[in-house]
A = this chain, B = another copy of it.
Amino acid sequence: MESGSQREGSQREEQARIRVTVWNEFLHERENEFIAGIYPEGIHGAIAQALRERGFPVRTATLDQPEQGLSQAVLDETDVLIWWGHKAHAQVQDAVVERVHARVLAGMGLVVLHSGHHSKIFRKLMGTSCSLRWREADERERIWVVDPAHPIAAGLGHYFEIPEAEMYGEFFDVPAPDALVFISWFQGGEVFRSGCCYHRGHGKVFYFRPGHETYPIYHQPEVQQVLANAVRWAAPSRGPSFLYGQAAVNVREPLEPLPERGSGRTRVG
């Protein structure tokens, strides 16, 4: 039988094939000393490092870059995009949102973190307000695994804790997830669907709740484990080629012989 380290080696090789881009609006860390102390390389830097340590090839992208860091070229070379945004959602250009959206439908994975619930791209993909209740009170969060068969729960215990967190509470106005992996308990009395999986077109979307900028949440090993799992899960499956552009596809020729029996109504349409 293989040893644990053999398995890790093989998984590491698999991960080396998944090209990750971590996008961050990157404002809090430059404007607030306290937050800069938690994330000296930015939130994107901390996430990128955690993923690189696990073998993923990672680049980062930020709002202040040309094309807001997400040119067509960058997206075309991205298998999974991780999104952290909070107070600059409105600054993200619609053209960038459209570009990301098209790439997700064509197969790119998207992992939306924490306050990214209100980003333009997540709202566009969900079709709902994506609103929720929230509170900042340094309270404890306990994240329970409710789908232990799911690959995003790999390597976790039955639950894990975040010592201090911003609270997000239900009702979380998103479509019922295709798979619900985590539910959070909050000390102040709320619950939250914290790990939500969606297929959209040829792409996969994972929303993961934790990650407020004032806490060192992305330095936590369990959170990093979830991020690595989510990236593996969201990587393109190389299914059927993407079919659609702006229009539906007119397949004039039937796959089966059709009798000459029609009323000919189609000619009048």
Which A residues have a C-beta under 8 Å from some C-beta of B? 2, 6-7, 10-11, 13-14, 16-17, 28, 32, 34-35, 105, 107, 118, 124-129, 131-139, 142, 144-151, 153-159, 164, 166-167, 169-173, 175-176, 178-180, 183-191, 193, 198-204, 212-215, 237-244, 246-252, 254-256, 258, 261-266, 268-269
Contacts and interface: CB of A to CB of B under 8 A. Distances in A.
Given A144-B171, A243-B158, A191 B200 contact: no
Contacts of A268: 32, 34-35, 214
A139 B252 CA distance: 12
A127 B129 contact: no
Contact of A183 (B166, B183, B244, B263): B183
Contact of A155 (B128, B132, B238, B258): B238
A105 to B, nearest CB: 6
Contacts of A244: 129, 131, 173
A223 to B, nearest CB: 16
A189 B154 CA distance: 22
Contacts of A172: 146
Contact of A170 (B133, B146, B154, B239): B146
B191 A185 contact: yes
Contacts of A180: 176, 180
A138 B170 CA distance: 24
A1 B137 CA distance: 45
Nearest to A187: B258
A244 B124 CA distance: 17
A127 to B, nearest CB: 4
B179 A176 contact: yes
B149 A204 contact: yes
